[in-house]
Amino acid sequence: MMGSQAQDKFSGFYKQWLKQQDANLKELLSAPRDPSHEQLHQAIVSKVVTHYKQYYTVKWVAAKDDVLGFFCPTWFSSLENAYHWMTGWKPSLVFRLRTSLRQTRVPRASLVDMTEEQLEKIQKLMIRIKMEEDRVDREMERQQVSIANKPMVDLSRLATQVKNGEVVGELGKYVDVTLSSLLAGLEQVMKMADCVRLKALNGVLEVLNPLQSLDFLAAIAMLQIQLRVVGKRRVNMQR
């Protein structure tokens, strides 16, 4: 059961988005592996990246109405939420996934054939993304600490006065202003994290050639889809 109309609406969008993601995965896996089809590979990669960007565009619009819903989303399984970081996947995941694919040759061999120049660029990008992640973590910590700042302390004091029978005419307005500030801070953290996610994804794709990008995006989609399948299966078993 959704907690708000904004969550209901986004949940509906997400179900349709997942259907397209599944279709995109099939297209990624069925594309010809010959490097001579580079133009086709580029078109498919562009289509998949646009699909991801659509997700964040709709997410940001929905978050303006209910940002808290994205910090405890009901449209994800408990397993998916357990692996989330700041309302989504952790950017550094893409680097661990790339390393795993090179070691295990899954799902294709193209990522095994990365050049030394590519590996060096990926390493530098990984360092930059880790710094960005740390910056988001610090901002989230700052937002959490702000709960104990003077406005919230004053709010607690005013609420106590009301309980004691003292009428405070501006209490409702004060509450709205204080909470609006807190929610705006959480929205900022969410957007910062999403930007790092997109920066990590785009950064890796800029280093890979079209065929490697095809395999990389297929691996990301398979991981997300399988995590969801296992998570939903676990929920059904517990019912």
pTM: 0.86
Cβ–Cβ contacts within 10 Å for residue 99, how many?
13
Angle of helix 5-30 relative to helix 38-66, nearest 10 degrees? 170
- Domain span at residue 223 reads 5-238
Side chain identity at 236, as an amino acid letter? N
Q: What confidence tier does 9 reach under pLDDT thresholds 50, 70, 90?
A: very high
The total number of structural domains that make up the chain: 1
Burial environment of residue 56 by CB neighbours within 10 A (0 to 12, 13 to 18, 19 or more): middle
| Cα angle, residue 176 at apex, residues 170 and 182 outer, rounded to 5° | 135
Angle of helix 93-104 relative to helix 171-207, nearest 10 degrees? 30
Q: Give the pLDDT confidence score for residue 4 in this predicted structure.
A: 82
Verify cis geometry, omega within 30 degrees of 0, for the bond prior to 107. Answer: yes
Mean of pLDDT over the chain: 86
pLDDT tens, residue by residue, 180-200? 888 999 999 999 999 999 999
Q: Give the pLDDT confidence score for residue 181 in this predicted structure.
A: 84
- Residue pair 113/219 in contact by the 8 Å Cβ criterion: no
Q: What confidence tier does 162 reach under pLDDT thresholds 50, 70, 90?
A: low
